[in-house]
Amino acid sequence: MAVSGFEGFEKRLELHFSGDDPVFLNVGLRQISFDSLEQVLREVQCTVVSAVGNHYFDAYVLSESSLFVYPTKIIIKTCGTTQLLKSIPPLLHHALNLGLTLSYCRYTRGNFIFPLSQPFPHTSFHDEALYLENTLPNHLCFRKASVMPSNLPSHAWHVFSACDQTRLLPDFYTVEICMTELDRTLARKFFRRPGDGKSGDAAGKEMTELAGINKINPNALVCDFGFDPCGYSMNGIDGDRYSTIHVTPEDGYSYASFECVGSIYDDDDDGDGEDLVRMLKRAVQVFRPAKVSVSTTSASHRVWARVVGAMEPLGLKCRSCTADEFPAIGSVVFQTFTARRKKPVECGGCTR
């Protein structure tokens, strides 16, 4: 492994807000001006490179990952040496000016490949949790921080959640896949040819089609960007759902992530979740990683159970499965898989 390189593993922050005016809430946070969002992102040390929106939300591709702005929630996902948690104070300020109050916060990340390169407050999970404790408003009184381990030393899942007294469980799920040791041939698709003369948008479109990312969810409108000399990001929007992919293809610390959201009530007709399984399969097949970790956040146990059904046909064996409960989230289930020939563990249940 390289001594130092670009940090692919993202930090992810999700903030939910509430207010009293139901008409106003149809627009809510989407009223924050682009200039104000850019100021927030300057605190994080990144910027917008491409954007798309629809009736439900706005999606921004960042120089380091993605930003999604809904009327009452914001999701920011950043990689590299960004200082993601520093976005909280200015976001709370803008929300307050719109008459919105923070009701829920969730922060997650995997294990950094280059932890010593991270700036404060991301120098350790202890520092991150302490920063969150001191930054979040006191009315978010139900809080929990946990590190979910696995049998793979390079993969663990860090979760911090906080919510107010409503403690309502969401009806949506989030699946976050982290992939390392990507197939070298497939990873080369995310390198640009020197002097290709293309814009980042044009290079991203070419990578999307060449890698088959446009086939993961054919219904999604894709907003993509190809970085120079290498690297790739995309946001897909499909109604009120988003998906996002980020790729760091360099050999020695190659990494790719895929994230998608959905409703626990929108199973396909036969109720077996085959649409989700199909999408997860297609996403992982783009990269053929040697190691995979999957975090599923949901109030329903049916969602995480489908992950094995997506991974095993690809030759990935389950190595560990851990579950924990968090306020206003429900269950977080963390599973790891590897293509190496080792005896797998049974994934019929999870340890706690």
Sign of the dihedral defined by the CA atoms of residues 41, 46, 51, 56, in that order: negative
**CA dist 59 to 50, 51, 75, 248, Å?**
9, 6, 10, 20
What is the spatial distance between Cα 115 and Cα 292, in angstroms, rounded to a whole number? Answer: 19
- Nearest 5 degrees, angle CA 44-CA 48-CA 51? 140
What is the spatial distance between Cα 57 and Cα 43, in angstroms, rounded to a whole number? Answer: 23
What is the spatial distance between Cα 11 and Cα 178, in angstroms, rounded to a whole number? Answer: 12
Which residue do the tokens 């929630």 mark? Answer: 73
> Could you give the residue numbers annotated as active site?
7, 10, 65, 79, 233, 246
What is the spatial distance between Cα 344 and Cα 352, in angstroms, rounded to a whole number? Answer: 18
What is the spatial distance between Cα 94 and Cα 29, in angstroms, rounded to a whole number? Answer: 8
